[in-house]
Amino acid sequence: MSDLNKLGLAEARDALRAGDVTSVELTESCLKAIDEADALNAFVHKTPEIALERAKAADERIKAGNAPSMCGLPIGIKDLFCTKGVPSQAASKILDGFKPEYESTVSQQLADAGAVMLGKLNMDEFAMGSSNETSTYGNAVSPWRRGNDDAQLTPGGSSGGSASAVSADLCLAATGTDTGGSIRQPAAFVGITGIKPTYGRCSRWGIVAFASSLDQAGPMTKNVRDAAIMLETMCGHDPKDSTSAELAVPNFEAMLTGDIKGKKIGIPKEYRMDGMPAEIEKLWSEGAEMLKAAGAEIVDISLPHTKYALPAYYVIAPAEASSNLARYDGVRYGRRAQLAQGDGITEMYEKTRAEGFGHEVQRRVMIGTYVLSAGFYDAYYNRARKVRTLIKKDFEDVFAAGVDAILTPATPSASFGLGEMTEADPVQMYLNDVFTVTVNLAGLPGISVPAGLDSQGLPLGLQLIGRPWDEGDLLNTAYALENAVGFVAKPSKWW
Amino acid sequence: MSIDQSTAAKVAKLARIKVEDDALPALASEFNTILGFIEQLNEVDVEGVEPMVSVEPMRLKRRVDEVTDGNQQDKVLSNAPDAREGFFAVPKVVE
Residues of B in contact with A198 (CB under 8 A): 56
Across the interface, whether the CB atoms of A245 and B92 are under 8 A apart is answered no
How many CA within 13 A on the CB side of residue B88?
Answer: 16
Q: Is the pTM higher than 0.90?
A: yes
Walk along chain A (495 residues) and give the pLDDT tens digit of each residue. 579 999 999 999 999 999 999 999 999 999 999 999 999 999 999 999 999 999 999 999 999 998 999 999 999 999 999 999 999 999 999 999 999 999 999 999 999 999 999 999 999 999 999 999 999 999 999 999 999 899 999 999 999 999 999 999 999 999 999 999 999 999 999 999 999 999 999 999 999 999 999 999 999 999 999 999 999 999 999 999 999 999 999 999 999 999 999 999 999 999 998 888 899 999 999 999 999 999 999 999 999 999 999 999 999 999 999 999 999 999 999 999 999 999 999 999 999 999 999 999 999 999 999 999 989 999 999 999 999 999 999 999 999 999 999 999 999 999 999 999 988 888 888 888 999 999 999 999 999 999 999 999 999 999 999 999 999 999 999 999 999 999 999 999 999
Helix (H) or strand (E) holding B70: none
Residues 43-72 of A with CB under 8 A from B: none
Number of other CB atoms surrounding residue A62 within 10 Å = 20
Q: What is the pLDDT of residues B33-53, one digit of tens each?
A: 999 999 999 999 999 999 998
For the CA atoms of A3, A6, A9, A13, the dihedral, rounded to the nearest 10 degrees, stands at -10
**Cα gap B70→A236, rounded to integer Å:** 26
Q: How confident is the model at residue B18 (pLDDT cuts 50, 70, 90)?
A: very high
| Domain housing B33 | 5-41
**C-beta of residue A195 within 8 angstroms of C-beta of residue A475:** yes
Does A158 sit behind a cis peptide bond, omega within 30 degrees of 0 on the bond before it? yes
Residue B57 lies in a domain: no
Total structural domains within chain B: 1
CA dist B9 and A113 (Å) reads: 50
Active-site residue numbers of A? 78, 158, 182
Indicate the pairing of strand A74-78 with strand A173-178.
parallel
Tell me the DSSP string of A92-134.
-GGGTT---SS--HHHHHHHHTT-EEEEEE--SGGG--SSS-S
Task: Name the residue of chain A whose CA is nearest to B32's CA.
Answer: A367
Q: Which residues of B touch A446 (CB under 8 A)?
A: none
Cβ separation A442–B55 shorter than 8 A: yes
Class level of CATH domain A4-262: alpha beta
* Domain extents in chain A: 4-262
Inter-chain contacts counted by CB atoms under 8 A, chains A and B: 168
Closest by CA position to A384, among listed B28, B59, B58, B39? B39
Q: Coil, strand or helix: which one is A335?
A: coil
What ipTM does this complex have?
Answer: 0.95
By Cβ distance, the residue of A199, A329, A351 closest to B55 is A199
Asked, for residue B27, whether it belongs to a domain, the answer is yes
Residue in chain B closest to A238 (alpha carbons) equals: B61
